[in-house]
C-alpha cells in the first residue's frame, strides 16, 4: 500500500558527491598535499613580481639607462679627454662594462629590498606567507624576478652605450659576461632580501643603500684600475666582492681586468663569488624558514 514504509533495501541510493569532493578526500590536519616543488605557485609569485616592476618600467628599466649615460658623460668628459688609454682601450670603452653591471646590481637590490618591508609596513605580508610556498620557493621566485629586472636593465643600458660615441663593446669572453653578470645580480638580490627582512622602516633600507651598496659600488674599480692605488687600498678593494663582479664582467668585454689577464685568474674570482652567493642564499633561506622578523 502507498502509506506503508519502503524497506531500507529498496530505498533510492543516496546522491553521489559531485566530482571528487568527498569527506574522505581531505587529508589529515598537518599532512602536506604538495609533496614536491610547487611549480605553479613559484611561477605565479615570480610573474607577480615581474609584473610589479614592469608596470612602472619607465622608472625601473629606462631610468637606469639615463642615469648610466649621465655617469658616462661626466666621467668621460672629466677624465677621458686627451685620448686616455686604460687597459689598452680608451677610457669610455674601459668604463662602459662597469657601468652596465653596476646598473644591473643596483636594480636587483632595489627590486628585493622592499618586498617584505612593504608588506610589514602595509600589513600585506600575509600575501607572501599564506600561500602554499616553501621558503626555498619563495626565495627562488623573489630572486628570479630581481635577476630578470637586472638582465632587462643590462640589455637597455648596453643598447644605450652602443649609441654613445667612443664606446666600443666587443665580446671577448661570453662566459665571463654571463657568469659575472648573473653572480652580481644574485649577490645584490640576496643582500636586498636580507635588508627587507631586517629593516623595520624605509629609512633602514635607504641607509643600507646609501652607506653600504653605493660606496661598495663606486669604490669597486668601476672608474679606475686598482693598480693606481696604494698597496693598503688595493687590499681593501680586493676584499670588496663587487670589485670581482666589475672586473670579471669587464674581462668579458676587454679580455683584461684588475683580477688578471688569464681565464684561470678570473675563474677563481668567479668561483669565489659563487661560494659567497651560496652562503648568503643559505642564510636567507634559514631566516625566511624561521620567519625572522616576519611572524610576530
Using left for φ > 0, alpha for ψ between -120 and 50, and beta otherwise, residue 161 falls in: alpha
- Summarised one tens digit per residue, pLDDT across range 107-163 is 999 999 988 888 888 888 888 888 889 999 999 999 999 999 999 999 999 988 888
- Angle at alpha carbon of residue 106, lines to 103 and 112, rounded to 5°: 135
Task: Spell out the domain ranges in the chain.
Answer: 45-290
Across-strand partners of 86? 89
pLDDT value at residue 12: 46
pLDDT value at residue 287: 96
Distance between CA 236 and CA 233 in Å, rounded?
5
Q: What is the pTM of this model?
A: 0.85
pLDDT value at residue 77: 76
Query: Do the Cβ atoms of 193 and 208 come closer than 8 Å?
Result: no
Q: Is 10 helix (H, G, I), strand (E, B) or coil?
A: helix
For helices 91-112 and 63-79, angle between their N-to-C axes, nearest 10 degrees = 150
**Counting every residue, how long is the chain?**
296
Q: Where are the alpha helices (DSSP H) in the chain?
A: 39-54, 57, 63-79, 91-112, 115-122, 126-129, 135-162, 174-198, 202-208, 214-218, 231-238, 241-254, 263-290
Phi, psi of 80 (to 5 degrees): -100, 0
Q: Is 89 helix (H, G, I), strand (E, B) or coil?
A: strand
Query: Do the Cβ atoms of 252 and 269 come closer than 8 Å?
Result: no
pLDDT value at residue 289: 93
pLDDT value at residue 80: 53
Mean pLDDT by 10 residues, the chain (296 residues): 49 46 59 78 94 91 88 76 75 90 94 88 87 93 96 92 83 93 97 95 92 90 85 87 94 85 84 97 96 81
Question: Residue 129 corresponds to which cell in the numbers above?
Answer: 606567507
Q: Which of 108, 272, 118 is nearest to 204 (CA)?
A: 118
pLDDT value at residue 67: 87
Residues 199-228 as b/e (b if ≥16 CB within 10 A, e otherwise) read beeeeebeebbeeebeebbebbbbbbbbee
pLDDT value at residue 231: 86
Torsion sign across C-alpha atoms 261, 262, 264, 267: positive
Amino acid at each position: 500500500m502507498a502509506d506503508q514504509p519502503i524497506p531500507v533495501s529498496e530505498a533510492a541510493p543516496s546522491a553521489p558527491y559531485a566530482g571528487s569532493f568527498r569527506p574522505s578526500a581531505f587529508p589529515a590536519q598537518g599532512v602536506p598535499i604538495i609533496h614536491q616543488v610547487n611549480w605553479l605557485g613559484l611561477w605565479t609569485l615570480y610573474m607577480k613580481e615581474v609584473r610589479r616592476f614592469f608596470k612602472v618600467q619607465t622608472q625601473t628599466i629606462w631610468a637606469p639607462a639615463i642615469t648610466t649615460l649621465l655617469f658616462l658623460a661626466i666621467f668621460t668628459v672629466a677624465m677621458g679627454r686627451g685620448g686616455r688609454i686604460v687597459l689598452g682601450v680608451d677610457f669610455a670603452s674601459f668604463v662602459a662594462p662597469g657601468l652596465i653591471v653596476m646598473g644591473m646590481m643596483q636594480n636587483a637590490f632595489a627590486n628585493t629590498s622592499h618586498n617584505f618591508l612593504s608588506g610589514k609596513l602595509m600589513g600585506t605580508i600575509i600575501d607572501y606567507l599564506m600561500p602554499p610556498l616553501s621558503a626555498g620557493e619563495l626565495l627562488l621566485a623573489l630572486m628570479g624576478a630581481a635577476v630578470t629586472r637586472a638582465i632587462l636593465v643590462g640589455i637597455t643600458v648596453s643598447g644605450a652605450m652602443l649609441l654613445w660615441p667612443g664606446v666600443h663593446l666587443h665580446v671577448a669572453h661570453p662566459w665571463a659576461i654571463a657568469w659575472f653578470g648573473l653572480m652580481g645580480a644574485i649577490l645584490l638580490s640576496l643582500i636586498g632580501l636580507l635588508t627587507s627582512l631586517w629593516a623595520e622602516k624605509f629609512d633602514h633600507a635607504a641607509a643600507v643603500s646609501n652607506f653600504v651598496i653605493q660606496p661598495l659600488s663606486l669604490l669597486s674599480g668601476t672608474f679606475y684600475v686598482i693598480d693606481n692605488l696604494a698597496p693598503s687600498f688595493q687590499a681593501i678593494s680586493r676584499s670588496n666582492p663587487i670589485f670581482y663582479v666589475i672586473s670579471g664582467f669587464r674581462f668579458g668585454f676587454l679580455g683584461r681586468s684588475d683580477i688578471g689577464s688569464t681565464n684561470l685568474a678570473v675563474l677563481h674570482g668567479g668561483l669565489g663569488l659563487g661560494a659567497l652567493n651560496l652562503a648568503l642564499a643559505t642564510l636567507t633561506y634559514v631566516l625566511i624558514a624561521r620567519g625572522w622578523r616576519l611572524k610576530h
